[in-house]
């Protein structure tokens, strides 16, 4: 069963709820990632879209479309998480922690002294050769395209 009874999602700034539905796909993906990693929403839970007709778009049709965009945003976020797109990126990014000094760091076996000994006499050329790009722009592009394809 899930760790959450339900989620109330409101958009707005610090200390101010502007009564809008979620439409930011990155936020919904981050939210759904947390929900899935924490065990999902309970059997009787759900998403609470809390927007009231005290905004500039207040007609029933506006609120209906607000619910649609909110549900679509969370659905896209859920699909990105469920399909493992982000998991694969994170796994590749931190693969150096699966062996060697990275595994020692991950398992809390490496002390500061161990890390100093490991790095102190390494030539700069060896450090550069061991350094790899995170390909951030490619990752952003992958996520963008995946979200767009999910919503088609």
> What are 107-142's pLDDT values in tens digits?
999 999 999 999 999 999 998 988 888 888 988 888
pLDDT for the residue 57: 76
User: Are both 13 and 76 inside the same structural domain?
Assistant: yes
User: Are both 75 and 99 inside the same structural domain?
Assistant: no
User: Are both 76 and 103 inside the same structural domain?
Assistant: no
User: Are both 61 and 98 inside the same structural domain?
Assistant: no
Q: Is 94 exposed, middle or buried (0-12, 13-18, 19+ CB in 10 A)?
A: exposed
User: Are both 76 and 96 inside the same structural domain?
Assistant: no
Q: pTM (2 decimals)?
A: 0.65
- Rounded to whole angstroms, the Cα distance separating 56 from 24 reads 19
pLDDT for the residue 108: 96
- Give the end of a domain, one of 26, 54, 82: 82
User: Are both 28 and 65 inside the same structural domain?
Assistant: yes
User: Are both 67 and 39 inside the same structural domain?
Assistant: yes
- Rounded to the nearest integer, the mean pLDDT of the chain is 82
User: Are both 66 and 130 inside the same structural domain?
Assistant: no
pLDDT for the residue 106: 94
- Give the end of a domain, one of 67, 82, 97: 82
More confident residue, 33 or 99: 99
pLDDT for the residue 80: 81
pLDDT for the residue 117: 94
Residue 151 has pLDDT above 80, yes or no: no
User: Are both 62 and 97 inside the same structural domain?
Assistant: no
pLDDT for the residue 104: 96
Average pLDDT over residues 43-52: 73
User: Are both 95 and 149 inside the same structural domain?
Assistant: yes
- Give the end of a domain, one of 26, 56, 82: 82
Show the domain range for 19: 1-82
Number of domains in the chain: 2
């Amino acid at each position: 069963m899930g760790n959450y009874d339900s989620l109330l999602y409101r958009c707005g700034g610090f200390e101010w709820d502007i009564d809008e539905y979620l439409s930011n796909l990155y936020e919904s993906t981050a939210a759904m990632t947390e929900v899935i990693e924490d065990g999902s929403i309970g059997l009787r839970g759900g998403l609470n879209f809390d927007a009231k007709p005290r905004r500039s778009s207040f007609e029933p049709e506006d609120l209906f479309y607000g619910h649609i965009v909110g549900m679509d945003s969370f659905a896209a976020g859920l699909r990105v998480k469920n399909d493992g797109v982000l998991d694969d990126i994170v796994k590749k990014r931190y693969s150096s922690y699966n062996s060697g000094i990275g595994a020692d760091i991950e398992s809390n076996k490496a002390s500061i002294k161990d890390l100093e000994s490991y790095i102190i006499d390494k030539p700069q050329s060896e450090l550069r050769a061991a350094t790899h790009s995170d390909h951030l722009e490619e990752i952003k592009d992958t996520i963008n395209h995946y979200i767009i394809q999910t919503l088609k």
